[in-house]
Structure 1
């Protein structure tokens, strides 16, 4: 983000209207970055200096949240999160512990056949309890099943609708 901020004027970026989006693991990283931006205590764990950008809202799609829940770090994820790192960095891994009402407004999306469908649904309830403005949508049904990160399929009508829904959410949050 520092590079983006440093080059914003060069590329004509509107510093006053910046949005964050992430899919799957990128959804988790976006969630973590928003917690860093909006919670000084969490930010101090990373030694992060805020940038000169006004973040307005986020879209977290098919995100993997609550990484410290049993079973979330399994299989291939063990390569990214070995046990010794998880133990050492628990506070930094658990972004949800630092989500406050200052968290950015979020559009959460998932799909009926997303293998981590329950993660955005759980985050929906969590954000409600924290008083964070958000929308949570699950796309697809038995006649039109949708997989993990379905919204990348630009030829699919349901994916197109999800992307349009997110853009409309962002429009409502422009400064």
Structure 2
């Protein structure tokens, strides 16, 4: 019978934390996407958050730009972004559920799908130069590596759920 090394236990714990982080990210994306389907509620929430700034200074940069940019964004891109976030989040949640249940199909599926997410994030980075996208890409790379490691290790030493 194989006994796990301290390194393997540590990597497994990091993997579990990374997968739970992906789950949290997926849930936030789903709720964010759903929120975009209700632009009036989203506008009211945004205006409530910057209301004090706007009262203090009617020319406040953030409040003024939010008041003008958010309605235009919601009118032009709201449905697309909502659909993207909801589908992206649901895919993550399904993959995470499979990974946490040691489903064999989930490991290669997660590696491929998260890899495709990375390709898209890097594509978007070319246009946005967003540091957030780079951080997200690095985290995705770590989760992919951990998933690959877990897959190889479990295939060798553990039994997968069917």
Fold match (TM-score > 0.5) = no
Q: Which has the higher contact order (CA 8 A, sep 6+)?
A: 2
Larger Rg: 2
- Per the normalisation by structure 1, the TM-score is 0.27
Greater per-residue helix proportion: 2
- Per the normalisation by structure 2, the TM-score is 0.29
